[in-house]
A = this chain, B = another copy of it.
Amino acid sequence: MKEIVVQKFGGTSVADTDKIKNVARAVIREKNLGNDVIVVVSAMGHTTDILTKLAKEITPNPSSREMDMLLSTGEGVSIALLAMALQAQGCKAVSMNAMQVGIITEKIHSKARILEIKTERIREHLDNGEVVVIAGFQGITEDFEITTLGRGGSDTSAVALAGALGAKRCDIYTDVEGVYTTDPRIVPCATRLEQISYEEMLELAHAGANVLHPRAVETAKQYQTPLRVRSTFKLDNLGTLILGVEQMELHKPVTGVASDLSQLRIVVCDVKDNPGTAAVLFDGLANENISVDMIIQSYARKDLNTNDIAFTIDKNDLARTKTILEKLKPELEYSNVFVDDTIAKISIVGAGMIDRPGIAAKMFRTLASLDINIKMISTSEIKISCLVDQARANDAVEALHKIFGLDCDEIAEVKGDLPDV
């Protein structure tokens, strides 16, 4: 039996009919390597924006069920066109939407999670020698309601399909050439990583590297499906392979540096230090689905028994957060709320830091030497994040990238053969 490779192409890769023909060539190239090929595609280019604009013309608050019905049409177009392009290039192909495949999700509109993928119909087509072109981003519930998977949905569709089918690899084609040690727009000397572990990729994704959605990486990790991020436009470039840490050889303590400008810091001042006040605050936020990233609680006035509670949230959640804080004021008895939107979160990530002490100290020392003040710190096993002044973010990234040996001239050339996946 042939092995299966899943390929995923995003909206920019299928933005027009010429690009779709180009994608067809990339698919046929993979098929000609002797693999069965599943292709997952997003809607063409700006389709989602156009459809959303139509909905907003109808009503400022369209129901999420009807938004899912509306948006799911976008992939219907791209899968049909790609199947046609494959057929026109002499390759047997068939398109399938989520309902035809049976991509079963929770009954939650606009951000459903996949529960199960039926594989029988796909396998029939593969046995027929066909490339199967599948609509990303969409699913159906057990009772035939159309759902969508939210941001990064097509990546998740591809990875989940790869997992369900036991694919040997899932290739995420995108407009970048892979995962870099940091953003090459900030540090020109950034290097493409040949390999990175799921865990590191997750931390980098959460830390603001926009290559892959965390949910897709989590799903790949769960199925232990090797994931390759590669360029649609440079097919000879192998990109970056994301796989289990146990399959990797660790070279350096730090794999990558990320900066995230999407957050802001809120300080709730002089909160009465009663048991449970923090729980009241963060329960209130959680109930409204507002994700809090970093948290620090510190004595404000020890004599008055009050605390300052500082935390970071996504900038888009500010208005809702303020409403919640207003509502909780009688309970929290705080004096005032201070919003700081000039922050950046700088993170260093590396599975190699687990058994190497002193990495955090080295990070703080580096920032101190540049006179960069650290406003908050958070850590995980393989990540250290510092909140700094936004104006100094690039300086921080550059310095950390250099001090941890990631600048391109310090990276060994090729690390031998890639694993055969």
A23 to B341, CA, bound (A): 45
In the bound complex, residues from chain B placing their C-beta under 8 Å from that of A87 are: 59, 62-63, 66
A83 and B69 within 8 A (CB): yes
Shortest CB–CB separation between residue A141 and chain B, in angstroms?
11
Q: Enumerate the 6 nearest inter-chain pairs by beta-carbon distance, A residue then B residue, closest first.
A: A59-B88, A70-B80, A73-B76, A17-B57, A69-B80, A73-B73
Partner of A58, one of B20, B61, B65: B20
B94 and A81 within 8 A (CB): no
**20 additional contacts, CB 8 Å, given A59-B87, A61-B88, A100-B145?**
A20-B58, A55-B81, A58-B81, A58-B88, A59-B85, A66-B80, A66-B87, A66-B95, A67-B80, A69-B76, A69-B80, A69-B95, A70-B77, A70-B80, A70-B81, A76-B76, A97-B146, A99-B144, A100-B144, A121-B144
- CB within 8 Å of B: which of A69-115? 69-70, 72-74, 76-77, 79-81, 83-85, 87-88, 94-95, 97, 99-100
In the bound complex, residues from chain B placing their C-beta under 8 Å from that of A21 are: 58
A79 and B85 within 8 A (CB): no
Give the interface of A toward B (CB within 8 A): 17, 20-21, 51, 54-55, 57-59, 61-63, 65-67, 69-70, 72-74, 76-77, 79-81, 83-85, 87-88, 94-95, 97, 99-100, 121, 144-146
Given contacts A66-B95, A73-B73, A95-B66, contact A17 B80 (CB under 8 A): no
Shortest CB–CB separation between residue A356 and chain B, in angstroms?
53
Partner of A81, one of B54, B95, B144: B54
Counting every copy of the chain, the complex holds: 2
- The chain B residue sitting closest to A145, CB to CB, is B100
The A interface is mostly helix, strand or loop, or mixed, namely: helix
In the bound complex, residues from chain B placing their C-beta under 8 Å from that of A62 are: 84, 87
A14 to B182, CA, bound (A): 49
Given contacts A65-B94, A94-B65, A99-B99, contact A85 B73 (CB under 8 A): no
Shortest CB–CB separation between residue A202 and chain B, in angstroms?
34
A76 and B72 within 8 A (CB): yes
Given contacts A54-B17, A94-B65, contact A59 B73 (CB under 8 A): no
- The chain B residue sitting closest to A70, CB to CB, is B80
- The chain B residue sitting closest to A77, CB to CB, is B73
In the bound complex, residues from chain B placing their C-beta under 8 Å from that of A121 are: 144
In the bound complex, residues from chain B placing their C-beta under 8 Å from that of A83 are: 63, 66, 69
A20 to B66, CA, bound (A): 15
A63 and B84 within 8 A (CB): yes
A66 to B87, CA, bound (A): 10
Partner of A54, one of B55, B58, B66, B77: B77
In the bound complex, residues from chain B placing their C-beta under 8 Å from that of A81 are: 54-55, 58, 66, 70
In the bound complex, residues from chain B placing their C-beta under 8 Å from that of A20 are: 58
A84 and B100 within 8 A (CB): no
Shortest CB–CB separation between residue A366 and chain B, in angstroms?
52
Shortest CB–CB separation between residue A43 and chain B, in angstroms?
10
A83 to B67, CA, bound (A): 10
Shortest CB–CB separation between residue A85 and chain B, in angstroms?
5
In the bound complex, residues from chain B placing their C-beta under 8 Å from that of A72 are: 76
Shortest CB–CB separation between residue A121 and chain B, in angstroms?
7
- The chain B residue sitting closest to A143, CB to CB, is B121
A51 and B69 within 8 A (CB): no
